Amino acid sequence: MKTSLALLTTVLTSVSSLVVPRANPKTTHAYASGRLFNIDGKTQYFAGTNTWWLGHLMSDADVETAVSEIASTGLKVTRVWGFGNVNTAAGNENSVYFQILNETLPGGQQINYGANGIARLDSAVNTAEKYGIQLVLPMLNNWGDLGGIDTYTNAFGGNATSFYTDAASQTAYRNYIEFIVNRYKNSNAIFAWELCNEPRCHGCPTSTIYNWASETSAFIKSLDPSHMVTLGDEGWMAPPTGDGSYAYSAAEGVDFIKNLGISTLDYGTFHMYPDQWGYNFTWGNTWIEQHDAAGKAAGKPVVLEEYGAPYANNKTAITLPWQNTLVQDTSIAYDSYWQFATVLPSGTNDADNYAITYSTAAGSDYQILFTQHAQNMAAKPAVANQ
């Protein structure tokens, strides 16, 4: 089924009263500068974090609290889910969602302009702009949380692997991309557009995601040539790189090195969860160094976009060696711990086992792994190992 932007255009013209973020003319968008980034008018190393939930908070006060604390920590970028799909509004009245995907709708999709809709992402973007924080916005999720690929296949057919080549799903996905990019492309709060959180195509040839990423990133660049675009993958490698074990097998249909060569992707991403993937924690240093080497070969920035330790009592013991490797031995442009947490005025709490809660207490995990690490990254000379 061919979907259309006509519905989105009609609804957009009827909601002109919503406050959509606009650029501050005194600032410029971040961009790749060799293997680093120029951000806030300066080529530099820096640290970031993940707050997937920021655009799904119902309270502006909650958003303000989180973003102000991120800024006071010295972090420059946070990653926020730019997606939020459901297949029906029924039963989701008390949840935040941005669009409905359903073939019974005109065009198969509809933006939610209610109080629990896109206004919540507007709040996150506006508040980030206020505090000088920049956002990475993934526009799709590989996982089912908050409506990922499965919401497209529920609406238009297919499955998690056919999604990447299914005409109806891809048209609807591009419609949503066009809506999000056009809504926020004039905002200086946008660091980069991200195709998907952790795209996988299990058992597929790596050409499937390579071709999809090439075409989709080119489409985004046609809408907004000023902002960066990245894939959002976990950094899986393919033979002959590595020892052939899971992370190097291309079993998930992703070849990090090959994808890094896509001209319309400005930088590469990788994630790191040794405990989930069957590796010991010290292997994380190898994973970091391998991706740094790939970035050096490609001449592009590489970002450790997600990493963390799931245990309450030894996060620093596990994570600090990785951060030391990042700071001392690599040219990884920036890194984002998964994830930032804080005490919000409403009492909302979306923390998981990996989260570290904001704290000003000396010697706390937060002070070591967030505040001090941000200072260490910022202190690095802005020179990469070419």
Distance CA 83, CA 202 (A): 22
For 135, which DSSP code?
E
Q: Please indicate whether residue 198 is annotated as part of the active site.
A: yes
Work out whether the CA dihedral 115, 20, 185, 60 comes out positive or negative.
Answer: negative
Long-range contacts of 12-21 (CB under 8 A, 24+ apart): 12/111, 12/179, 15/113, 18/113, 18/118, 18/119, 18/122, 19/122, 19/126, 20/122, 20/183, 20/184, 21/122, 21/125, 21/126, 21/129, 21/184, 21/186, 21/187, 21/189
Active-site choice (129, 194, 198, 305): 198
DSSP β-ladder status, 77-79 and 85-86: unpaired
Active-site choice (69, 129, 234, 306): 306
CA distances from 73 to 65, 99, 360 (A): 12, 33, 9
User: Cα Rg for the chain, rounded, in angstroms?
Assistant: 20
Q: Please indicate whether residue 178 is annotated as part of the active site.
A: no
Burial (CB count <10 Å: 0-12, 13-18, 19+), residue 4: middle
Structure tokens at 3: 């979907």
Structure tokens at 191: 């660091």
Write out the catalytic residue numbers: 198, 306
